[in-house]
Amino acid sequence: MSYPDIKADFDRHITTHEMRIVMDSDLNRHIVFSRPNSNHYRFDLITYKGGLLFRGDMGTLVFERLSDMFDFFRDKKINTGYWAEKLQAVDPRGYESWSWDKFKAAVKHDLDNHCETMHDQEKIDSLREAVESELTECEYDEYSSVQMIRDFEHEGFSFIDFWEHNLKDYTFHYVWACYAIVWGIQQYDLFKNSELPK
């Protein structure tokens, strides 16, 4: 999955970041990325055998999978779903949150499926208008949306199996951290390769 807005935000905020290696001993690393004389959007990558800790303005995440977690994240594309499966600890902000976009997509999915079983175009149009009206009036928060789905009924139709949908998406902070991990490892690799004898 691509997150162009978050990637653009990440790119904008790290343009003047510099890398400082605090420790680099085999699989034990502590690398700091920050603007000169500022901790704004700072982040640290800390590795130990079998794990990587990301910490900074975007929160704290601990991943465990391979002996050298830099090898696990060495890729140009982030993989939010697969990487989330490797999370061992997450700060209180979490890595997922309720999503209005996923909610709307689920409503459309269930509505489309039901409309395919209907044969009366007037009734289809009436149902679609009723759902659209409810969506327009609904607040963009989880509580209001849940209430809308629970209360909705139009000519015998209600969202019976709606709760089977996954209405969560990855948080801005988590996705930003994923981009930071990939970028940070790239900076580290560039530095290490520049140190190699020619």
Reported as a single tens digit per residue, the pLDDT across 10-33 is 999 999 999 999 999 999 999 999
| Backbone angles phi and psi of 99, in degrees to 5 | -120, 120
pLDDT for position 196: 65
Computed on alpha carbons and rounded to an integer, the radius of gyration of the chain in Å comes to 23
pLDDT for position 3: 82
CA distances from 41 to 73, 169, 190 (A): 20, 22, 21
Q: CA 144, CA 158: separation in Å to the nearest integer?
A: 16
Residue range 107-111: mean pLDDT, rounded: 96
Nearby residues of 58 by Cβ (< 8 Å), 6 or more positions away: 41, 43, 173, 174, 176, 177, 180
Query: Does residue 179 carry a pLDDT above 60?
Result: yes
Residue range 71-98: mean pLDDT, rounded: 93
- By the 8 A CB rule, do 53 and 59 touch? no
**Higher per-residue pLDDT: 198 or 186:** 186
The pTM score is: 0.84
DSSP state of 164: G
In this structure, the strands spanning 18-25 and 87-90 are unpaired
State the pLDDT confidence band at 197, using cuts at 50, 70 and 90.
Answer: low
Identify which of 92, 94, 71 has the alpha carbon closest to the alpha carbon of residue 84.
94
Tokens of 113: 């499926």
Identify which of 191, 169, 163, 155 has the alpha carbon closest to the alpha carbon of residue 70.
191
What contacts 24+ positions apart, CB below 8 Å, involve 78-82?
A: 78/3, 78/175, 78/178, 78/179, 78/182, 79/178, 80/1, 80/3, 80/170, 80/174, 80/175, 80/178, 81/1
pLDDT for position 39: 87
Tokens of 73: 């994240």
Residue 146 Cα to chain centre, angstroms: 22
pLDDT for position 2: 58
Percent of the chain whose pLDDT exceeds 70? 97
